[in-house]
Structure 1
Amino acid sequence: MERRKRWLGFAAFLCLVAAIGAREIRVRPKDDGPVFNHTLATILVEYASAVYMSDLTELFTWTCPRCEGLTKGFEVVELIVDVQNCLQAFVGVAGDLNSIVIAFRGTQEHSIQNWIEDLFWKQLDIQYPGMPSAMVHRGFYYAYHNTTIRPAILSAIERAKYMYGVENIMITGHSMGGAMASFCGLDLAVNCGERNIQVLTFGQPRIGNAAFASYYSQLVPNTIRVTNGHDLVPHLPPYIPRLPQRTYHHFPREVWLYDVELGSSVYPSEKICDESGEDPSCSRSVTGNSLSDHLTYYGVELFAATWGSCSIVWDPRWTEYGSKDIRGNILLSKNNAESSLKRPSASGAKLDIV
């Protein structure tokens, strides 16, 4: 009964906001924004899917069922599992992309319904350091900055650069993993001085207000958020135009996947949205009411194979490659001697990424 009252109250609040009218907030992007590369998106979505795997042996050796296809030949440098906070990420090198790839896992299925409900009510509650008036979601910010994830990733990036001579960095993730990927990209640009950063996420929620979105688009201009159909998560936390300082606001640029019906046929389409971050003709033009649209992008499943808790499959033989701390968090690492992927050569085949 209490939950029903909360939902009714929220619905009434949104109706009131709609009745008052909307005043759109404009986000100033850097230059014309990033160029969307469809081929790259279909590759990175497979990395965003693979990071959901719970068998650490298969994931670390890149032999999992989701480790074939467009990501074949990828080499994991570091696999991070923060058991305490139910977080997982990996850092590795993709020779065909000539890039370091970082992928973050999204919310586990057993908690996604509660997580989505919480996002309806979540207020902006922390100021991003060094950005006046920029407010962000504390949970997403802490998931990246205040866990074992950040230090392990920064260390792995430096090791990957040394092992493979690669400078480009591509960051991806789905759902909450997309939020963490965005904070990672910003961290690398602001605090680590990285310049060759590309962020491409799938079905990520809003993570900050309009001031934050403006800063982000200036500092990490090569960022794409892919949204799908009626996916409910990109609509969360709610965007309320009449509360410009307190409302959440997406940063640009969005690419919206939707279906076009022509007679009895349905054709998948991609729309590159405007530079505002909140293009009313893209995902905001439809109701965000679909969980199934959230869990599949480009035909790729973005959830764990088993609907369960944050359990993992650990092979004791892999203890030589990593360790567990007193909280059960796991790091699996490769050094240069264990690498089978050679440094990219000038004559090697590469995917031209813009």
Structure 2
Amino acid sequence: MRASLPLLAILSSLIAAGFASPVKRGISSDVYNDLVFYFQYASSAYDSTCAKPNGNTLVGQFSDSGTDTQGFVARDDSRKEIVVALRGSSDAVDFWTDAQVLLEDFTSPGTTPPAGTSAHTGFLNAWNSVAAQVISTVKSQLSSHSGYTIVTTGHSLGGALSSLAGITLKQNFPSSPIRMYTYGQPRTGNDNYAFWVNDQFGANAFRAVHTTDGVPTIIPTSVGYRHHGVEYWQNPDPPSASTTKECAADGEDPTCSASVPSQGIDLAHTIYFDILATTPFCS
């Protein structure tokens, strides 16, 4: 039986559409559980008195009064990890940092970025205000815990700082395995920055976005910014491995969270995996 030309045309268009926009399926339970686990560190960074982050050893805290940048370094001896967690926005100084959106040349201790790499002025200044403290603490921990993996994590502003911390620590400790986790991270740098992070981290960068969270797209690509990968879009609720999709590896996937117009800071930004950001996991 011969198919009519109209039918063939319809089938061809459906097949083409399928190849152009593949269906994104849920992630593994291991990846999902890790996204939740490292969010608990990011959430705990809002608590300046967190004695046992995620039940693990608090190595030390770091801060800068000028930029109001804060966080901690923890050590998980069961997972053999050194975790750097950076606090998100919590006061007027942080929101001023968020507002410094001009791009500036990327510089950070011990790094050699590709030519033309630039980052958000406020985020970069905030990270650089504590970078030396973090590098020194991580170096000390690696000297006594050889082979441990470095992990950076943060929510919102802390997510941007986690990205900057991740690439800086990757450059400073090239022989150490490293992963970064960010939650509700705004775009942090230009195309060259995103390409650099993608090249250095590949699948070891995890950028989670909750449903309609408007912060990841609040700084548009039209002003020279670009996201790095890999986005994990948890949509729709309720959160689970099956409702969390791995998006295009380059970071800018129009079928994931970028498909939702930004409404700025909304309820979705404040809750990830049914956990209110700022909830401490400290015992």
Q: How many residues align?
A: 244
Q: Do the aligned partners of residues 229 and 203 (structure 1) sit closer, same or farther apart at CA in structure 2, a change above 3 Å counting? A: same
Aligned equivalent of 1:45: 39
Aligned equivalent of 1:282: 256
Which residues of structure 1 form unaligned runs of 5+? 1-34, 241-245, 261-265, 306-354
Q: Do the aligned partners of residues 230 and 180 (structure 1) sit closer, same or farther apart at CA in structure 2, a change above 3 Å counting? A: same
Q: Do the aligned partners of residues 85 and 111 (structure 1) sit closer, same or farther apart at CA in structure 2, a change above 3 Å counting? A: closer
Cα shift at 1:115: 6.2
Aligned equivalent of 2:123: 140
Residue 293 in 1 paired to residue 278 in 2? no
Letter in 1 for 2:155: H
Q: Give 3-state SS (helix, strand or coil) of 2:35's partner.
A: helix
The one of 98, 105, 108 aligned to 1:126: 105
Percent identity, please.
Answer: 26
Cα shift at 1:97: 2.0
Cα separation, 1, equivalents of 2:178 and 2:31: 15
Residue 77 in 1 paired to residue 54 in 2? no
The one of 225, 228, 232 aligned to 2:207: 225
- RMSD across aligned positions (CA): 2.4
TM-score by length of 2: 0.78
Which residues of structure 2 form unaligned runs of 5+? 1-28
Cα shift at 1:36: 7.8
Retained in 1: the 8 A contact 2:58–2:73? yes
Q: Do the aligned partners of residues 184 and 115 (structure 1) sit closer, same or farther apart at CA in structure 2, a change above 3 Å counting? A: closer
Q: Deviations over 1:32-75 (max 9, x none)?
A: xxx98111111100000111013x3xx2x32xxxx5xxx22x00
Retained in 2: the 8 A contact 1:105–1:174? yes
- Between 1 and 2, higher relative CO (CA 8 Å, sep ≥ 6) is seen in 1
Q: Do the aligned partners of residues 179 and 296 (structure 1) sit closer, same or farther apart at CA in structure 2, a change above 3 Å counting? A: same
Please list every run of at least 4 consecutive aligned residues from structure 1 whose deviation after the TM superposition is greater than 3 angstroms.
109-116, 127-130, 162-166
Aligned equivalent of 2:278: 303
Letter in 1 for 2:45: V
Cα separation, 2, equivalents of 1:267 and 1:47: 18
Retained in 1: the 8 A contact 2:209–2:257? yes
Q: Deviations over 1:75-123 (max 9, x none)?
A: 011111222221111112112322111100011155676666x37xx23
Aligned equivalent of 2:152: 171
Letter in 2 for 1:51: A
